Amino acid sequence: MERLGISSACYYPLTTEESFMKACKAEIKCIELFFNSPSELSDEFISNIKTMQNEFGVSIPSVHPFMSFAESFFLFSSYERRFFDILDLYKRFFEIMNELKSDIFIIHGSKIPGSISDEKYFERFAKLIEIGKSFNIQVCQENVVDYRSQSVDYIEMMKNYIGSDFGMVLDIKQARRATQNPDDFINRLGNYIKHVHISDYNESSTCIPPMEGHFDFIQFFNSMKNIGYTGKYIIELYNHSYTNEEQIYESYKKINKLLIDY
């Protein structure tokens, strides 16, 4: 079973289908699908993705919706009706994920400071989790800089409020951008971490291809092994994080070799 993959977001602003095909042709067998536009939820578009998925024998373990920039407005605003009205759009994503045999749905959440209380935020997130479960989907909170979820303290509060249904996506670059130590998430969230985005860093950037910078992946994978993590590691980069695509694939090969022991 493939434990390492890449995100189609690495190629943005290439179209979603072109990005997916590019990763398929690079013989990446595990691809996180980052949707970028409403038309990409059409039956025709999904059929095209499924055709590529089957042709290249690719798994799509996780899905990132295009609404992340607007989740403060759609899901976590003081206008409660909007939350309930938008749920059908999320259900459409869950239907698509069932077709693609995906398990993890990634939420950024509310930007700081937000317009609702923490308790109300947690209640609405719990409702999303409940709906996701009805589709056999795990709805997960990602740690994201400048969002409520940027700190380990906040995500731990979410976990304590929501309980055993809670899950998070740990993103290394977002932790560093928010001056948070990834080890703190591991130590305090443990097996509530369901999915991981990996990248590297150096003196001039918080996001470069893995194994090109200073991040200690051996120590990181050891820590994840110690908490019993068995999920996926997804290389997720910005298109300005590298100068040529071969860097992505070289990182993929190097990390794959490391993961043999983990």
Cα–Cα distance measured from residue 42 to residue 95, given in angstroms and rounded to the nearest whole number: 11
**Percent of the chain residues topping a pLDDT of 90:** 98
DSSP string, 103-122: -EEEE--PBSS-SS-HHHHH
Q: What is the pLDDT of residue 262?
A: 87
**pLDDT tens-place string over residues 133-180:** 999 999 999 999 999 999 999 999 999 999 999 999 999 999 999 999
Q: What is the pLDDT of residue 78?
A: 97
Nearest residue to 154 via CA among 165, 138, 168, 172: 168
The residue ranges of every structural domain in the chain are 4-259
Q: What average pLDDT does the chain have?
A: 97
Q: What is the pLDDT of residue 167?
A: 98
Q: Does the structure show a pLDDT above 90 at 261? A: no
Cα–Cα distance measured from residue 36 to residue 68, given in angstroms and rounded to the nearest whole number: 10
pTM for the model stands at 0.97
CATH of domain 4-259: 3.20.20.150
Neighbours of 67 (CB within 10 A): 18
